[in-house]
Amino acid sequence: MVQQVIKESPHGSFKVTQLCQNIVICEDIHNKQKWGNETEDQPAFMVYVGCLREEAKGTMHTFNNLYGCKWCEIRTPKYLKDFECEIKVKGMSRLGLNHLVQEQNLSDYSFDFKDEIFEAAELLKQEQELIAEPEQIAKVISNWLEDQLEDIIWHYCNSPSFQKSIFKIELEQEKALTN
C-alpha cells in the first residue's frame, strides 16, 4: 500500500498516515507532545499496529525488546478497524518503523505470491489437453513454493534472534551512512 493520509487536524499539528495494511502512524508535526522520537528532519510519531487479539502480547514483547519502544497499549481499534485490536506504540525509532513496515510488506507479498501460484495451478488445470499431467506439475510446484515461503516466514516471524540480527545489521548500516 502506498502511504495514505487518513486524517489531519484542522490546524495541521497532527497527521495520521496509513503505511501498510496494518500500520498507521500519527505524526506530531509541531512536537507538542514530546514523544521523543523526532529527528532533525522528521516529526515525532506514535505507531498503531492492527493484529489479532491472540498475537497482541507477543507483538508488544517484540516492540519492547527488539525495537526498544518506551510504551505499548492494547486497545480497541481506532484507526485499524479491520483488526480485532490495535497496539498503540510510543518511542519507536524511524529505523524501527521502516523495519516493521518492510517486514509487513514482505509478509503481504509472500501471501500474494502464494495466491498467484494457486492461480497458475488453476490455469494449468484448464490447459490439460496441452500439458501432460498439469495437476501433478502444478501441485508439486505449488507445494514446494508454499513450503519454502512458510519456512522463510516462520523463521522470520518466530525467531527473535533472526529479527534482531537483521535489525542490528540495518542499524549498523544506518550508523555507517551517518558517520
| Confidence class for position 169, pLDDT limits 50, 70, 90 | confident
Overall average pLDDT of the 134-152 stretch: 69
Task: Render pLDDT for 64-117 as a digit per residue (tens, 0 to 9).
Answer: 877 778 789 999 999 999 999 999 999 898 888 988 888 777 665 555 556 666
Instruction: Look up the pTM and report it.
Output: 0.64
Give the mean pLDDT of the chain. 79
| Confidence class for position 23, pLDDT limits 50, 70, 90 | very high
In this prediction, residue 44 carries a pLDDT of 92
Share of the chain above pLDDT 70, in %: 65
Question: Cα–Cα distance between 38 and 18 in angstroms, integer?
Answer: 18
Q: Does residue 1 carry a pLDDT above 50?
A: no
Residue 131 sits at φ, ψ, to 5 deg, of -125, 130
Overall average pLDDT of the 144-149 stretch: 70
| Grid cell locating 138 | 502444478
Task: Render pLDDT for 120-142 as a digit per residue (tens, 0 to 9).
Answer: 666 666 655 555 565 666 667 77
